[in-house]
Structure 1
Amino acid sequence: MAVAQGADAIEPDIVSTRDGVLILRHENEISGTTDVADHASFADRRTTKEIDGVAVTGWFTEDFTWAELEGLRIRERLPHLRPASAAHDGEGRIQRLADLLAILDEDDARGRPAGPVGLVAEIKHATYFASVGLPLDELVAAEYARAGWSDDPRLTVESFESSVLMELGDRGVSGRRVYLLEKAGAPFDLVARDGSAATTYREQLEPAALADLARRAGLDGISLDKKMLIDGAGVADPALVDRAHALGLDVFTWTLRPENAFVSRAFRTSGDKAERGDWRTELERVAATGVDGVFADYPDLVVEALGRDALGRDS
């Protein structure tokens, strides 16, 4: 559907099963996105873990084999905001990274006027998974090698941890590297190494620090929380985009969503969080900062508002 609506790339979050199968889930805790809690045989798997320094309770992908997870049904993560999507709960199953690669290869073989659809693969919780014996750099690199994607020009890899991006490069994955940055806090790979002295995301965006990181990690771009580009009053600031562009980096932002719950305060149209706000004005202001691309839950709205080839320095 995303491809049909005009998406130029698909961005899955990648986590692992106990037996090292890479699957597509927003988090490794899956009670909010599957019916795992309805399976009495899995009741004893419910537990509390510390994921990236935060206590999380539920069912975790790394405690299941793929054969076990394959039987689960998927659910809308935000049913109170997206009841139309939630109406389809139970109709689909979890997909593996291998399944998505096959879909994209089939789409590429058919061809489309706008060109091939890319893959922007987010490596989730790499430091945590390595600590439980599931090194995502190794598993992801092996999956790409099996599928012939290691040097595919359609591939971009991204993560909130720069170390895994470097490790993937060391393992022969030559896709573009994009570093994700939060508005607050510090990347967990650095927290695990340096504790309270860890460099924060904000500090990494200082001109000298960003230049050094881009060089060491071989970055092609950065991807910023939307709130770093536009404030609650709807005022957009291109400073970060300009700074990154000056270093030759592309800049992306996430996540553009139309509901009042997600648009900036200035663009909310009512107190109904599920109702669509003035998403079009917000999108236009974000685009005006000069970003090279946006991540959106509704690609058709981006195409509708901006048209194709409306973003970026080179398009």
Structure 2
Amino acid sequence: MSVLTAGLPTRSIPSRLVVTPAVVAHRGASGYHPEHTLGAYRAAVRMGADAVELDVVPTADGVLVVRHESELSATTDVADHPGLADRRTTRRVGGRRVTGWFTDDLTLAEVRTLRCRERHPALRPGNTLHDGREGVATLGEVLAAVGTESVRRERAVGVMIELKSPARFAARGLPLEEPLLAELRCRGLDHARSGVTVMSFDRGILRRLASRTTVPLVQLLDVGDRLDAVALDAIERYADGVGVHQALVRPRTPDGRLDAPTRLVREAHRRWLDVHVWTLRAENRYLPVEHRLGDDPAVLGDLPGLAADLLDAGVDGLITDHPDLALRAVAAAV
């Protein structure tokens, strides 16, 4: 993990975010439980994940809750609450019109009345057995649960926090920096060795955080983002690593197979930036052709094989819905 000195103009000190190669449970063990539930995080730790990943969005009263997006109907039973029917609205999110119920229109007390459910019930029917068992967790609750599990298992488990749409929420009077830093400080986690990492696609919030905290920062990158030397040099000035779509490391050919590795990992490592790839999912639907098992999109294919291919390309971390399967590849590689 990076050891940084407050006030330095660069965060490029030769060190590593985590012991590598690391397996990070995406939204918890979300291949087996509804995403972002405490059950999903506890399962991930039991499986042996090195860290867990979560996304945070604010409630109307400024509390950070753990959801992939602020719209709630895909992952909770909000539509079944008559008392919240008048909160259904339509707004533009990420350039598209989205209709539903949004965390930033509900207080924490109102969000706490909701129960979580599986996002992909047809693809992951086994996960629906957990529908309705848990409510929406706050950031603080996940940090506490992971801390408790770390003590119980006698091993440190990291937490990678993604800040979702910070500019949009700031425009609504709900900035993410203050509640995030307040939560970390309250729990004694606002330092470089806390095991917490903060990520975002938004460069602005990461640059601001670089002068306010020493927790490691990760710039998230998607297909189509600029990745030349100038871009990586700029990232190195405020971040400790990059979290990239797996296709930026191993692109896919037109027929859906893995292509040769790019130079991204090598160029990132030259700048002392760690590289995590997202998101490895075991269902055939998400795998390259050579790692699928049969034609059923819901059948679990050879995720360890894909993980091994990415590890061979030099990545430092695998962000995955199925941490137990990715761990097999890591065990075979070391």
TM over 0.5: yes
Which of residues 280, 296, 302 is equivalent to 2:320? Answer: 296
Whether the aligned pair in 2 keeps the contact of 1:260 and 1:276 (CA below 8 Å) is yes
- Higher RCO, Cα 8 Å, sep 6+: 2
Which of residues 131, 137, 156 is equivalent to 2:197? Answer: 156
Which of residues 121, 144, 150 is equivalent to 2:184? Answer: 144
Please report the TM-score for the alignment, with normalisation by the length of structure 2.
0.82
- SS of equivalent residue, structure 1 residue 12: strand
Whether the aligned pair in 2 keeps the contact of 1:236 and 1:285 (CA below 8 Å) is no
Q: Deviations over 1:202-248 (max 9, x none)?
A: x2x10122112321xx2110011012222131224141111111111
Identity %: 41
2:158 aligned with 1:118:
yes
User: Hey, what's the Cα distance between the residues in 1 that align with 2:213 and 2:102?
Assistant: 27
What amino acid is the match of 1:221?
G
2:228 aligned with 1:206:
yes
2:76 aligned with 1:34:
yes
Once the two structures are superposed, the pairs formed by residues 64-213 of structure 1 within 5 Å of their partners are: 64-110=106-152, 112=154, 115-151=155-191, 152-170=193-211, 172-184=212-224, 201=225, 203=226, 205-213=227-235
**Once superposed, what is the RMSD of the aligned Cα atoms?**
1.6
User: Hey, what's the Cα distance between the residues in 2 that align with 1:108 and 1:309?
Assistant: 25
Q: Deviations over 1:67-96 (max 9, x none)?
A: 011011000111111000012111111110
| Alpha-carbon distance, 1:154 to partner | 0.6
2:249 aligned with 1:225:
no
In structure 2, the residue matched to 1:307 is 331
Q: Deviations over 1:154-201 (max 9, x none)?
A: 11000011111122233x3211011100103xxxxxxxxxxxxxxxx1
Please report the TM-score for the alignment, with normalisation by the length of structure 1.
0.87
Q: Deviations over 1:233-276 (max 9, x none)?
A: 12241411111111111001001111011112343333321111
Paired residue total = 287
User: Hey, what's the Cα distance between the residues in 2 that align with 1:14 and 1:272?
Assistant: 33
User: Hey, what's the Cα distance between the residues in 1 that align with 2:333 and 2:74?
Assistant: 35
Larger mean CA deviation between 270-279 and 256-265 belongs to: 270-279
Q: Deviations over 1:143-164 (max 9, x none)?
A: 2122221115311000011111
Which of residues 231, 235, 247 is equivalent to 2:271? Answer: 247
Which of residues 258, 264, 271 is equivalent to 1:234? Answer: 258
- SS of equivalent residue, structure 1 residue 87: helix
What amino acid is the match of 2:264?
L
In structure 2, the residue matched to 1:3 is 45
- SS of equivalent residue, structure 1 residue 2: helix
